Structure 1
């Protein structure tokens, strides 16, 4: 089974999160690693949320991947989202890019390395819960001391020549507004609309988005500028620096009101904010609460921006292996989104993200990964294994 077939097999094993049941895919990976003689154990979490780690840990190098995927509706797809079809030099289906392609490349690299007669110098962690909170995945493994802090590669999809060494922070808010109901024919002269209170907060957030934040560290400022140019090519969009230096916001869910002719008594809003370097989370939250004093605002998830120094040994080694495989200059970037990398960095792990994938199809219809990117990721990972085998 080559790396493309392995990726396709993983795609065919459904592991949507929610609900988050990963028993079948973790069992597949367990059987694969068993066939290579890699000692592992399965860490069970509630409702079938299984993780797999190598045991005991050797603490030199860690490869990490998540096996859960976001849900997919059949509508709009030209390929079966769960078919794992291999066509036009690509593996198609939900999770092909995010990130079963990366998991397949890890496994294939380990197989090639072991088949060459060498002892694997790396730990492996395949986790169940990256697409939601990470509570049952990487956070559970860290809390139970299953992982030893060491240089870590998270196989999330990245540009082929640009590993990701840092990520913006995030703050997810659940906001509940209470109004003063009345007859709709009298509003806005009488009554307080919970829906309009929510709109007022969104208008305030839109104003916050216009602020530009600058990191205190000149090295981070430089890599943000370089990352902006790469993102412009990747997404074919203008003003990509704004994505990395401004608070990005998404009112992902809003529900409210009772009836068209009643001034809304209640409204709830789920808000996703992405926080740039130089922005204080407590100060930002304070401003938001000050603007909406009548609202009940709770933080459901938050983290500061994190970064691994671009000149760290881990990053330098990985850049060298990428350049060897692609014969092209490689340079690190920072990312606009978040992943398990933040939990690992905050626990003292030097972390870099590097993996195969078509980033423009991430979480999208007709998600896919090219066979070429899978095969080259295997070569890069093999190179890293060879380097750490000598340490």
Structure 2
């Protein structure tokens, strides 16, 4: 079985989150590893939320991936999102880029190293719910002390020559605003609108977003590389602003009772990305001050995180990427992943993996066969470096 075939097999095993069951895909990976003589443990949670951790002493590197995927509606896809077609140089389907292609490349590289006569000194962790915050996945494994702090490679999709060594912080909150109802014809003299309270908070966040946060001199090259990567991927400028400013998205708002009633209630789910140099505590206080009548429920909180550029995992992966592609440069990432939880527990984490990033979570998600094969080459070199 080659890496494209394994990617296709993983895509065909449905593991949408929600609803969140990964039992079938984890069982498939367990069988694959068992065929290589690798012992593993399945850590289960209700709803089929299964994780897999390999066991055995002497591992120096953690290889990590998530096997849950976001849902897909087949409309407008060139190939059905769960048919996992291999066509036109790509493997097509939901999870091809995020991130079953990366998981397959890790497994094939591991198999190749074994078949070359080298005993890999690495541990695997395949987790169930990165797409919904990691409560039953990486956070659960860390809470149970099933993973010891060490160097870690997550096979999340990145640009071909750009390993990701840091991520902006995350502040995701659910706010419930309360107003005082009245007749709409008398507002704003009578009544207090919960909807307008939410609107006022967004105005404050626009002000926060308008100013960049200065970064220390040693981060500036990484910021510039991140801006270059952003421009390359999306074909637009503004990457430096994304990395140095607070970005926010009111992903869901619902409120009010009727057009002629001053809104008594409003609920907003807010996703905020926090740059280096921005105090998360100050941001929290500012939000609380500008939403004094709201109940604020924090769903996910993480400071910006960074693995030092001179860390062994960064030097090793960068060297192997340069060997395969001729060039390599680490960058800072604007999104978030399980890396933040691992760094909080003392892991030195880097992300590098295959994928067509513009198709991530999108229609016609796919990964090129060439990228998969080159990722296997990179991973083989990294595994050998930690197994010598």
Q: What TM-score do the two structures reach when normalised by structure 2? A: 0.98
The residue number in structure 2 matching 1:38 is: 38
Map residues 202-217 of structure 1 onto 2, 5 A cutoff: 202-215=202-215, 217=216
Residues 254 and 268, structure 2, Cα contact 8 Å, conserved in 1: yes
2:22 matches 1:22: yes
- With 181-190 and 56-65 compared, the bigger mean Cα shift is at 181-190
Deviation per CA, 1:183-238, whole angstroms, max 9, x where unpaired? 222223322111111111111111111121122x3212221122212211111111
CA distance in 1, matches of 2:171, 2:233: 25
Distance 1:94 1:205, change over 3 A: same
The residue number in structure 1 matching 2:149 is: 149
The residue number in structure 1 matching 2:126 is: 126
The residue number in structure 2 matching 1:312 is: 311
Map residues 282-361 of structure 1 onto 2, 5 A cutoff: 282-326=281-325, 328-361=326-359
The residue number in structure 2 matching 1:276 is: 275
- Give how far 1:105 is off: 0.3
The residue number in structure 2 matching 1:65 is: 65
Provide the aligned C-alpha RMSD in A.
1.1
Map residues 222-261 of structure 1 onto 2, 5 A cutoff: 222-261=221-260
Map residues 73-112 of structure 1 onto 2, 5 A cutoff: 73-112=73-112
CA distance in 2, matches of 1:273, 1:198: 15
Residues 57 and 148, structure 1, Cα contact 8 Å, conserved in 2: no
CA distance in 2, matches of 1:263, 1:303: 36
The residue number in structure 1 matching 2:361 is: 363
CA distance in 2, matches of 1:132, 1:80: 24
The residue number in structure 1 matching 2:262 is: 263
Residues 4 and 371, structure 1, Cα contact 8 Å, conserved in 2: yes
CA distance in 1, matches of 2:221, 2:318: 17
CA distance in 2, matches of 1:284, 1:377: 39
The residue number in structure 1 matching 2:191 is: 191
Deviation per CA, 1:232-290, whole angstroms, max 9, x where unpaired? 11111112101000000010000111112221111000000000001111110101111
- Could you say what secondary structure the match of 2:214 adopts? coil
- Could you say what secondary structure the match of 2:355 adopts? coil
- With 181-190 and 152-161 compared, the bigger mean Cα shift is at 181-190
- With 150-159 and 54-63 compared, the bigger mean Cα shift is at 54-63
Residues 60 and 150, structure 1, Cα contact 8 Å, conserved in 2: yes
- Could you say what secondary structure the match of 2:362 adopts? coil
Following TM superposition, the consecutive aligned residue runs of length 4 or more in structure 1 with deviations greater than 3 angstroms are none
2:145 matches 1:140: no
The residue number in structure 2 matching 1:6 is: 6
Distance 1:45 1:58, change over 3 A: farther
The residue number in structure 2 matching 1:174 is: 174
CA distance in 1, matches of 2:46, 2:199: 38
CA distance in 2, matches of 1:176, 1:337: 26
CA distance in 2, matches of 1:213, 1:313: 29
- Could you say what secondary structure the match of 1:131 adopts? helix
- Aligned residue pairs total 388
Residues 230 and 237, structure 2, Cα contact 8 Å, conserved in 1: no
The residue number in structure 1 matching 2:164 is: 164
CA distance in 2, matches of 1:43, 1:265: 44
- Give how far 1:117 is off: 2.2
In structure 2, runs of 5+ residues without a counterpart are: none
The residue number in structure 1 matching 2:387 is: 389
Deviation per CA, 1:308-361, whole angstroms, max 9, x where unpaired? 0112121111111111111x2200001001101111111111110000001111
CA distance in 1, matches of 2:317, 2:276: 24
- With 25-34 and 317-326 compared, the bigger mean Cα shift is at 317-326
Residues 281 and 304, structure 1, Cα contact 8 Å, conserved in 2: yes
Residues 195 and 267, structure 1, Cα contact 8 Å, conserved in 2: yes
CA distance in 1, matches of 2:220, 2:117: 44
- Could you say what secondary structure the match of 2:153 adopts? strand
Q: What TM-score do the two structures reach when normalised by structure 1? A: 0.97
- Could you say what secondary structure the match of 1:374 adopts? helix
CA distance in 1, matches of 2:95, 2:383: 25
